[in-house]
Amino acid sequence: MAIVETQKLTKRYGREEALKTLDLLVEAGDIYGFIGPNGAGKTTTLRILSTLLAPTFGKAFVDGFDVMKHPYEVKKILGFMPDSFGVYDGMRLVEYLDFFGAAYKIPRKKRRSIIDDVLQLTDLASKADDFVSTFSRGMKQRCCLAKTLLHDPKVLLLDEPASGLDPRARIEMRELLKTLRKMGKTVVISSHILSELGDMCNRIGILEHGVLIKQGKYPDILDEIRQTREIRLVVLEGAEKARKVLEETTGVLNIDSSGHEFQFETNLPYDALADLHQNLMGVGAKIVFFEEVKGTLEDVFLKVTKGGL
């Protein structure tokens, strides 16, 4: 069941067309990776979905609610973490969260325990009484995420949540998103750090120049993009014999070797690959590794997008 959906979504800024008839589909429970180069229209899409921006044409729905007709209902079930945001001077973290809790109409009696929970979840409990304005970039990101989670939204829209974070903070943010996934949240996440998205997204959408050029389950897109498999072979002995076998096998392409290590592309089915493995062992090659090199989101991204602004 689609929880986030757009139909022919179009947004123009003057003559510039930021989004061109975008048809986005995110199902409940998805971790949807929304990727694309700078200026592709990702932030515009997220801002329309979060009721902050009116589309020029087309419709957007969140949990069945039209974002333009029922913004209040959408806000109840949606948490949006913008790419850039400010914090209030002179407010302590717990006061900041209490303010947003009140703004999200969370009853006062429940608010304190909810704040404690989100502080635990975002690992900010020790900073509860510190001024938000003194936080580092990473802590501000977490603070904003804590604010976004306060009203327990069904859908989370996260715009570049890991940008500007150091490696440890990124890893922690990734773990946090995995936790949210386990909690059953639907997360739409836009990011430039593709390797991190590949680990956690089950669906992806690739946007370029305002056009959604690919959308679907990540493994399906990977298969669709890659016509051949890439195999890595490492042998302890019999490297020359192994090379000869590979060169003689039909369907083995682009062999790249370096000493005892080979990498090649193949369109052979699994049973033919098993035969190849047997043949290699048969000629006396002592195999250490015979494995498929998994495709990455970077590969998909580079193959699908054309680049340029």
Partner 1 sequence: MATERPAPAAVAAVPRRQTFAEFLTFPSLAILKRETVNYMRQRKTALWLLLLVAAGIAYVLHSWPEEGLLINQQADNPGGRNASRIVFFGTGQVFLLGCMLLLPPIAASAIASERQQDTLVQLSVTLIRPESLLLAKLANTLGFFAMLVLAFTPIFGTLFFLPGVDAIEFVFVVVTVSATALGCAGLGLLASSAASNTTAATILAYLAVVFFQTSPYGVIAGLLRSGADEMAVPVIALVIYDGFLLAVSLVVARALLRFHVHKPVRVHQERVIDDAALLRVRRSTYPFYLVDPLRRKQPIGDHVNPIFIREIFWGLTRNLTNLIRITYTALAVFVLGAATAATFRGWYWSTREWMAFEIAAIVILIPPFVAGAFAREREVGNLDMLRMTLVKPRAIILGKTLGTASSVLCVCTAALASCVVLLWLDHESWALTVQGLVSLLVSAFYALALTMVVSVLCGKTATAILAAYGVLAAAFAGIPLGLAEAFPWQAFSRFLDHRDYAINVPHFDLKLAAFLSPWTAYATAEKTDAGSIYWALNCAVFSVAAALLLLLAARFFRKRRLQDI
Chain positions contacting partner 1, by CB under 8 A: 13, 18, 43-44, 47, 50-54, 72, 75-76, 78, 80, 82, 84-92, 95, 98-105, 107-108, 111-112, 129-131, 133-134, 144, 147, 151
**Which of residues 12 and 277 has its CB atom nearest to partner 1 in the complex?**
12
Residues 54 and 155: their CA atoms lie apart, in Å, by: 19
Tell the smallest beta-carbon distance from residue 135 to partner 1 (Å): 11
If we measure between CA atoms, which residue out of 189, 154, 159 comes closest to residue 76?
Answer: 154
What is the nearest approach in angstroms of partner 1 to the Cβ of residue 87?
7
Which structure tokens are listed for 74?
Answer: 């959408």
As measured in angstroms, the least distance from the Cβ of 288 to partner 1 is 47
Shortest gap between Cβ of 121 and partner 1 (angstroms)?
19
Q: Which residues does 10 contact at the CB level (< 8 Å), separation at least 6?
A: 17, 19, 20, 21, 22, 55, 56, 57, 58
Query: Cβ 206 to partner 1, closest distance in Å?
Result: 21
DSSP of 12-59, one letter per residue? EETTEEEEEEE--EEETT-EEEEE--TTSSHHHHHHHHTTSS--SEEE
Of the chain, the end-to-end C-alpha distance in Å amounts to: 35
